[in-house]
Structure 1
């Protein structure tokens, strides 16, 4: 693969991840962190960029995304991918992207209710671009991503030359532990689970360039992950800087979208609002194309459904569900995302610590992977209920006292590592007994 194609796939990967949510998340965090925004953003990068990049690297070493769950029972394997791709697809992330694109890209300039028409047109455009997966790099990596980066650069350079404020005093949580809270906020972007879905697209794109050998796929995936990491880190740093200097123009902002809107208007007036709308529409479009591609590839490879049929059904469902409204979509689907994310990360950890280094037989590894998924699902459910405020007060108090990392919404992490440790201890004991008996 030549350098130009490698760079284009890296740019495409960056664009696939860069949805509107990634743009609006860091500004609010940085505004709240105030003078400690840079420390907070470093913590944020470790989980918001580090986890997805690590996931891509592991999937590249496997040379196929579906190998991540190959050692699970078949029903669990199919259920995991169906839930992940459906939730990241028409059940949640795709409709959210369409709705956010309308709210930030169209609604500021249109007083009526045009969501139904917009969602139909936006999904039709997505479908048209997604139906040519061989052209994905050309569309996104070589055209749309450079345009998106250029538009972001205009806004950021203007802010550097003419900042509209100074960092204010940090709120209490960012005074006490800015890096730790940045880590938590980065984890809550849930991009690690998006990386699992985008693995289908990236590996397929590498293969489309004639790369089939396992080591070569891993080699190029690592370099693509590096390109993604650099670009996304720069983007988050830029959005963080905007947020940190926005306390004067958006003192009562409740979300990052409001901060970006006021900042763009403050720098360029109406032209700034148009620029921000273009950035949002472009970011949402690249994400919807990538997720539609990932879903369609999965259904084609697993169930034999044609790519065209899958993509069409996904886009029709997305257009319909988008009209239920963003709040309803989030309320219904967010619990599944919050539970699936720790399961996905746990599988990645298990693949690295068990499958690649274990000398035990396939059955033992399969049992360990199944146990890891069950443990992650159990404690991930507790974390999800805690985040959503649905956990009974008595149980919440008990978990706060006895469950490590509960307050950080990662109570699943330690039990997963304990499960892996037990596997390794058991495996070592069995191997030792076999050696002694022989």
Structure 2
């Protein structure tokens, strides 16, 4: 593969992950962390960037995203991928991306409610770009991403030259344990599960450049993950800097979007709002194209449904849900994502830490069951849906419950136990 194409795929990967949520989350965290924002950001990068990069590398080593669940029972394999791609697609993330693009990119400039025509146009553009997966690298990696980076750089350079404030005092959480809270917030971006979906797009794009050798695929995937790490880390640090220096214009902001909006207006006036609108629209569009493509690839490879048909259905559903009952959809879908994320991370860790003979013997399903059970507890805790008595009990007896990582230790115990499984048992099961 040519170095130019390799760099373009790395740029494309960065753009796929860079949705509006990735832009607005770090400024608020950095503002709350105050003078400790760099320490908090270090922990944040460990999970927000490290986990997705690890996922990309592991999927590259497997040479195909669907091989991640090959050893699971068929019903569990199909259920996992269906839920992942549905919730990351038309049931939750895609409609949210469309509405965020509208709220930050169009709504500030009009008093009319234009969500319906906007969602139709936005989804139509998404469909047109997604229908040519072979051109995805040219659209996103070589055109849209450089434009996105240029716009982000303009805002950040202005902030470096003319910061609009200094760091505020850190809130109590970031005063006591800034790195730990950064790690937790990075995990809660849920980009680790997005990486599982984007694996379909990344590997397909690499193969489209004539790479068929498994070793070469793994090699190129590592370089793509490295490019992603560099670009995404720089982006998060830049957005964090904006939040940390926003005391004059956005002290005690309600969310990161408010910080970015005020910062852009403070640096460039009305032009700043236009710049931020362009950044948001571009970031959301690259994400919707990537997720639509991932859904199409999955249904084509798994159920032999034509790519075009899947893409049309996904974008049509997205346009409808963006306008009707998104809050209800979020209520239903968010718990699913919070549960699926531990399962996805546990599957990735199983490829790294579980002996191959154990995976081949089919014992990987134990990891899924344990991660799903304890991930459900974490999901209900995040959503404040646990009874207070149960919350008190879990706080006292369940390790890492406070950090929404209850699943991690039980999954680690499973990894440890399977190492002692007699070889004759795994051989018999595999046969």
Q: What interval of TM-score do these two structures reach, taking the shorter chain for normalisation?
A: over 0.9
- What residue is the counterpart of 1:248 in the other structure? 248
Distance apart, 1:427 and its partner CA: 3.6
Residue 407 of structure 1: SS of its match in structure 2? Answer: helix
| Structure 1 residue 19, shift from structure 2 partner | 0.2
- Tell me whether 1:381 sits opposite 2:376 in the alignment: yes
**Is the Cα contact below 8 Å between 1:99 and 1:325 reproduced in 2?**
no
State the shift of 1:360 in Å. Answer: 4.8
Question: Matches of 2:325 and 2:101 in 1, distance apart?
Answer: 12
SS of residue paired to 1:77: helix
After TM superposition, give the deviation of residue 252 of structure 1 in Å. Answer: 2.9
Tell me how far apart the structure 2 counterparts of residues 325 and 55 of structure 1 sit (CA, whole Å): 33
Contact 2:339 2:379 in 1 (8 A): yes
- Secondary structure of the 2:250 match is coil
Deviation at 1:327, TM superposition (A): 3.5
Per-residue deviation, 1:362: 2.7
Question: Using the alignment, how far apart are the partners of 2:235 and 2:398 within structure 1?
Answer: 35
Q: CA deviation at 1:352?
A: 1.3
Deviation readout 1:270-289 (Å, 9 max, x if unpaired): 00000000000000000000
Partner of 1:57: 57
- The aligned counterpart of 1:281 is 281
Q: Distance in 1 between matches of 2:338 and 2:25?
A: 17
Partner of 2:140: 140
What residue is the counterpart of 2:10 in the other structure? 10
Q: Distance in 1 between matches of 2:401 and 2:312?
A: 41
Distance 2:174 2:35 in 1: 9
TM-score (norm 2): 0.97
Equivalents in 2 of 1:428, 1:132: separation in Å?
A: 48
Question: Does residue 405 of the first structure (1) align with residue 400 of the second (2)?
Answer: yes
Cα pair distance change 1:292/1:361, threshold 3 Å: closer
Kept in 2, the 8 Å contact 1:20–1:284? The answer is: yes
Structure 1 stretch 409-418 or stretch 247-256: which is displaced more? 247-256
Describe the SS at the equivalent of 1:346: helix
Contact 1:347 1:373 in 2 (8 A): yes
Aligned residues: 426
Q: Structure 1 residues 180 and 421 mapped into 2: Cα distance closer, same or farther (>3 Å)?
A: same
Unaligned stretches of 5+ in structure 1? Answer: 432-438
Q: Which residue of 2 aligns with 1:177?
A: 177
Residue 211 in 1 paired to residue 211 in 2? yes
CA deviations on 1:20-66 (whole Å, 9 max, x unpaired) are 00000000000000000000000000000000000000000000000
Maintained 8 Å contact 1:45/1:183: yes
1:362 partnered with 2:360: yes
Equivalents in 2 of 1:238, 1:372: separation in Å?
37
CA distance in 2, matches of 1:175, 1:362: 46
Tell me the SS of whatever aligns to 1:111.
coil
Task: Spell out, residue by residue over 1:363-407, the C-alpha distance to the aligned partner (whole angstroms, 9 max, x if none).
Answer: 2xx1x2111100000000000000000011111111000000000
- The alpha carbon displacement at 1:351 in A equals 1.2
* C-alpha distance in 2 between matches for 1:311 and 1:362: 33
Deviation at 1:429, TM superposition (A): 9.2
Within 5 Å, which residues of 2 pair with 1:38-437? 38-324=38-324, 326-354=326-354, 357-360=355-358, 362-363=360-361, 366=362, 368-427=363-422
Asked if structure 1 preserves the Cα contact closer than 8 Å seen for 2:34 and 2:169, the reply is yes
Distance 1:147 1:219 in 2: 28
Q: Structure 1 266/217 Cα, relative in aligned 2: closer, same or farther at 3 Å?
A: same
For residues 360 and 31 of structure 1, do their structure 2 counterparts lie closer, same or farther at Cα, with a shift above 3 Å needed? closer
1:20 is matched with which residue? 20
Contact 1:360/1:427, CA 8 A, preserved across alignment = no
Deviation at 1:170, TM superposition (A): 0.2
Q: Note if contact 1:99-1:326 (Cα within 8 Å) is conserved in structure 2.
A: no
Alpha-carbon offset, residue 428 of structure 1: 6.5
